[in-house]
Amino acid sequence: MAKHGKKYQAALAKIEPGKLYSPREAIELAQDTTTTNFDSSVEIHIRTSLDPRQADEQLRDVVVLPHGLGKTVRVLVFAQGEAATIARKAGVEMVADDDETLKKLEGDGLNYDVAIATPDMMGKVGRLGRVLGPKGLMPNPKAGTVVGQDDLAQTIEESKAGRVEFRLDKTAIIHVSIGKVSFGTDKLFENFSTLMDAIHKAKPSGAKGDYIQRVTVATTMGPGIKIEPNEAQSLEVTG
């Protein structure tokens, strides 16, 4: 087991063992216990009662955070014709609109945060599944990343502004960033409230027991702070 340094130990000492904090308290404490010299991300980890193996307990959706993520979002778009023109005008980092470009992507580092495709391109995009999949970049209708030409510009705009995908991993946990430490408590709290509201609305039909079992907030390389699950689920989204 890796031994943590003095900064981490000092940060950990500020957290009361076993205590479940209110969402706002936890976010404030996460900012106070950041251990990096750079502007750390604030991450939320949510353990659910879902079984990822069951079809009616799958969870994958998107939410637009009101204050974004505080970073430049690099967007890759698979489109051709007029849709490709729309994507370029929207300022995306890469448009893959022909076989040559698609082939180049196989050897590309795929340094993108979001990949979007129009439905007519999915046949070709599917051939890149082995390189897009491991990067979490495979366009998917459930994630709102397979869209028609009419919705393309808005989807790109939302992706760059703070449109975040949340999904269940193999261990029934959701991992999502809600911004940067520099955002301040109010903006982080509003992003968190919006996220929790979206997760609640996306609750699968097969969910059993306590849907949200544990919520933890932490900054990059910082200690985790546990949030009272019931309070995390009963937040009101304002604005």
Domain of residue 229, CATH code: 3.30.190.20
Number of domains composing the chain: 2
Whether residues 60 and 173 share a domain: the answer is: yes
| pLDDT at res. 238 | 45
| pLDDT at res. 117 | 97
Whether residues 173 and 206 share a domain: the answer is: yes
Percent pLDDT > 70 in the chain is 95
Tell me, yes or no, whether 85 lies in a domain: yes
Tell me, yes or no, whether 4 lies in a domain: no
Instruction: Using the structure block, give the residue that is written with the tokens 């106070």.
Output: 32
Whether residues 116 and 219 share a domain: the answer is: no
Whether residues 59 and 90 share a domain: the answer is: no
Structure tokens at 138: 């495979």
Residue 125 belongs to a domain with what CATH number?
3.40.50.790
Domain boundary among 161, 183, 214: 161
Describe the crossing of helices 23-32 and 185-201 by its angle, rounded to 10 degrees. 130
Q: Average pLDDT, stretch 54-80?
A: 91
Whether residues 189 and 204 share a domain: the answer is: yes
Q: What confidence tier does 1 reach under pLDDT thresholds 50, 70, 90?
A: very low
Whether residues 179 and 157 share a domain: the answer is: no
Q: Which long-range contacts (C-beta less than 8 Å, at least 24 apart) are formed by 180-184? A: 180/39, 180/40, 180/41, 180/42, 180/69, 180/70, 180/71, 181/30, 181/31, 181/34, 181/39, 181/40, 181/41, 181/42, 181/219, 182/39, 182/70, 183/42, 183/67, 183/70, 184/31
Phi, psi angle pair for 58, to nearest 5°: -75, 145
Cβ atoms of 122 and 128 closer than 8 Å: no
Tell me, yes or no, whether 10 lies in a domain: no
Question: Cα(38)–Cα(20) distance, rounded to whole angstroms?
Answer: 27
Q: Which one is predicted more confidently, 171 or 104?
A: 171
Q: What confidence tier does 239 reach under pLDDT thresholds 50, 70, 90?
A: very low
Tell me, yes or no, whether 86 lies in a domain: yes
Structure tokens at 32: 């106070």
- Tens of pLDDT, residue by residue over 106-138, are 777 688 989 999 999 999 999 888 889 888 899
Q: Which domain holds residue 39?
A: 18-68+163-233
Q: Average pLDDT, stretch 29-38?
A: 89
Q: Is the pLDDT of residue 178 over 50?
A: yes
Instruction: Give the chain's largest Cα–Cα span.
Output: 58
| pLDDT at res. 162 | 81
Rounded to the nearest angstrom, the gap between the alpha carbon of residue 125 and the centroid of all alpha carbons in its chain is 22
Phi, psi angle pair for 51, to nearest 5°: -110, 105
| pLDDT at res. 111 | 86
Question: Cα(229)–Cα(212) distance, rounded to whole angstroms?
Answer: 6
Whether residues 120 and 167 share a domain: the answer is: no
| pLDDT at res. 108 | 72
Whether residues 30 and 144 share a domain: the answer is: no
Domain boundary among 136, 161, 186: 161
Q: Is the pLDDT of residue 62 over 90?
A: no
Give the predicted TM-score (pTM) of the model.
0.78
Cβ atoms of 12 and 223 closer than 8 Å: yes
- Tens of pLDDT, residue by residue over 140-172, are 998 889 999 999 999 999 998 888 889 999 999
Q: Using CB atoms within 10 A of its CB, is residue 65 exposed (0-12), middle (13-18) or buried (19+)?
A: buried
Q: Average pLDDT, stretch 90-117?
A: 88
Cβ atoms of 60 and 165 closer than 8 Å: yes
